Amino acid sequence: MSDFKFTCPHCQQHISADSSMVGTEVACPTCSGRLIVPEPPTSQPRVPPPQTEVGGTCPYCRAAITPTDRTRVCPACHTPHHADCWKENKGCTVFGCSMAPPDEEKISLAGAVPPTPRAVGAVRPPPINSGAPMFLYIPVSRLVVMSIVSMGLYEVYWIYRNWRYLKERDGLKIQPFWRGWFGIFYCHSILKAILTDRQTNAIEKASFSAGGLATGWIILVILGAAIGRSDDAAVSFLGTLISLPSFLFFLPVQNYINRVNERISPRPPYKSWSAGHIVCLVWGIIIWLLILAGMAA
């Protein structure tokens, strides 16, 4: 009997098994997903033909490759990757490719005892045992109320906090404060980063439109700011009202972040009230008082 290798269809973990286990139903040692040990390959993996266009799905992060993405095409099997994914994986992600990382860890099923059969159904990802929340975990009501009270300043804080989360988790060399302050330039990139994040997508696949939400938010903010610069008090107030509901474009993203955190075990607490929250609250109260005083005068 001899060992052979195959890939888990749920988490793409490379697994080593004995030929005697072919046809046996087992659980993946990594994601606990149910799978049937396949027949051992009879030949080397077939190298797909060269691709003439970059597109499709990156095999590393499972996100779509768009024409604007920086890409890296494997010189051996011609599979396109995101450039950052290629760098992070240190080579090609395709199992069996000669450009794959040489020290790739394998998990063996040798000696594994097949689990007791159970009813066939959807396989849910295992809970993440961590008490730390993913991204800015706050109640949706706080996002709504604080955005209205602070005249949209809280949305700048929202962008800043999510960039800061990525910087601390991934060690990015960025300045989250300025990315929040100049949010109209970095709104789309933070929404796309959340949409394609590997850790959150392992728990629940994101389905919101990063481009559509970012475009709507930017248009509403710029339009409200342009009208709000009018010397006419009534027109200026109208501009404020136009930009006020801009938080609506962040609600689908916040709902997704909350659903992901609610599936973490143990469930992490909401983000506590910080100095940034207090600044947004005080700023908003002062601006609203000035607006009301101007209208009364």
Q: What is the pLDDT of residues 101-117, one digit of tens each?
A: 865 444 545 554 444 44
Q: What percent of the chain has pLDDT over 90?
A: 34
Instruction: Say yes or no to pLDDT of 225 above 60.
Output: yes
Q: What is the mean pLDDT of the chain?
A: 80
Coil/strand/helix, residue 14: strand
CA distance 280 to 269: 21
Least confident of 24-28, 117-121, 182-186, 237-241: 117-121
DSSP state of 20: G
Instruction: Please write the tens of the pLDDT for every residue from 132-189.
Output: 899 999 999 999 988 888 888 899 999 999 999 999 999 999 999 999 999 999 999 9
Rounded CA-CA distance 122/204 in Å is: 13
User: For residue 153, which amino acid is it?
Assistant: L
**Spacing of C-alpha 254 from chain mean position:** 12
Which is more confident, 277 or 227?
227
Lowest mean pLDDT among 97-101, 124-128, 186-190: 124-128
29 compared with 52, residue with greater pLDDT: 29
